[in-house]
């Protein structure tokens, strides 16, 4: 059973993050989300690169102060500069459907106890439609950085994501990301949380 959102408690949220939000619906509606649930674009859910699944996030559209509470069930967004992908229902609540992208503030309301101290993080350095191109990039990066892997993401288009590293902390993965940026000039590398 999915837990309901936690009650809003007085005091500071666990974490605050700001950045651009977008939303996703079709063609992902009805497909499996990264946490194994079937994605329903009319539920109040979202995708985030690093927050543990079942984390509850209060999302505020900075331009109009409309807010919604969402549960993290998926990974993304996989576009540089965006911090969260909202379901269609969540985007509608904060009037994001028309503009498609907006500046938001994320307040972490709660996260699973077991997830606070555990996690494995990697750096996504590319996404390719062609598996052979993805494999060539994976092999090139493996020679330089060690642990690399390909992860298939079904969609429109479907993509092969190239991931580097298996770090125990988000800070360590961010240090790896900065090293990759410095070494290669790659501009779209970002940290994601891997599922065990």
Listed by start position, the domains of the chain span 16-113, 120-194
Long-range pairs for 168-175 at CB < 8 Å and ≥24 separation?
168/119, 168/120, 168/121, 169/119, 169/121, 170/50, 170/119, 170/121, 172/121, 173/121, 173/122, 173/123
Element holding 174 (H helix, E strand): helix 170-184
Phi, psi of 150 (to 5 degrees): -105, 140
- What is the model's pLDDT at position 81? 84
- What is the model's pLDDT at position 196? 56
> What global pTM score does this model have?
0.76
Kindly state which CATH superfamily the domain 120-194 is placed in. Answer: Sporulation related repeat (3.30.70.1070)
Reduced to 3 states (helix: H, G, I; strand: E, B; else coil), residue 122 is: strand
Q: Do domains 16-113 and 120-194 have the same CATH topology?
A: no
Reduced to 3 states (helix: H, G, I; strand: E, B; else coil), residue 160 is: strand
Q: Which residues of the chain have pLDDT under 70?
A: 1-14, 114-118, 196
Cα distances (angstroms) measured from residue 82 to each of 9, 137, 189, 190: 27, 24, 12, 10
- For strand 45-47 and strand 82-87, is the pairing parallel, antiparallel, or unpaired? antiparallel
- What is the model's pLDDT at position 8? 57
Q: Where are the beta strands (DSSP E) in the chain?
A: 16-24, 45-47, 56-61, 67-74, 82-87, 101-110, 120-128, 148-153, 159-167, 190-194
Phi, psi of 157 (to 5 degrees): -90, 160
Q: Which is nearest to 118 in space by CA: 49, 64, 62, 53?
A: 53
d(CA 103, CA 105): 7
- What is the model's pLDDT at position 18? 93
d(CA 161, CA 149): 8
- What is the model's pLDDT at position 185? 73
- What is the model's pLDDT at position 69? 96
Cα distances (angstroms) measured from residue 25 to each of 10, 22, 81, 132, 177: 33, 11, 20, 29, 29
The CATH number given to 16-113 is 2.40.40.10
């Amino acid at each position: 059973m999915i837990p309901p959102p936690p009650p809003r408690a007085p005091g500071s949220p666990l974490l605050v993050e700001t950045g651009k939000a977008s939303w996703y619906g079709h063609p992902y509606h009805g497909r499996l989300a990264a946490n194994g649930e079937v994605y329903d674009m009319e539920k109040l859910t979202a995708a985030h690169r690093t927050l543990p699944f079942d984390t509850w996030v209060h999302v505020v559209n900075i331009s109009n102060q409309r807010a919604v509470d969402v549960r993290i069930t998926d990974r993304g967004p996989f576009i540089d500069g965006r911090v969260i992908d909202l379901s269609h229902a969540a985007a509608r609540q904060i009037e994001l459907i028309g503009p498609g992208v907006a500046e938001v503030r994320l307040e972490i309301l709660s996260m699973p106890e077991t997830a606070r101290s555990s996690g494995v993080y990697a750096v996504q350095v590319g996404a390719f439609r062609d598996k052979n191109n993805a494999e060539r990039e994976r092999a090139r990066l493996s020679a330089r950085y060690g642990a690399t892997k390909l992860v298939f993401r079904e969609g429109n288009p479907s993509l092969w994501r190239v991931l580097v590293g298996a770090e125990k902390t988000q800070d360590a993965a961010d240090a790896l990301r900065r090293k990759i940026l410095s070494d290669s000039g790659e501009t779209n590398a970002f940290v994601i949380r891997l599922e065990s």
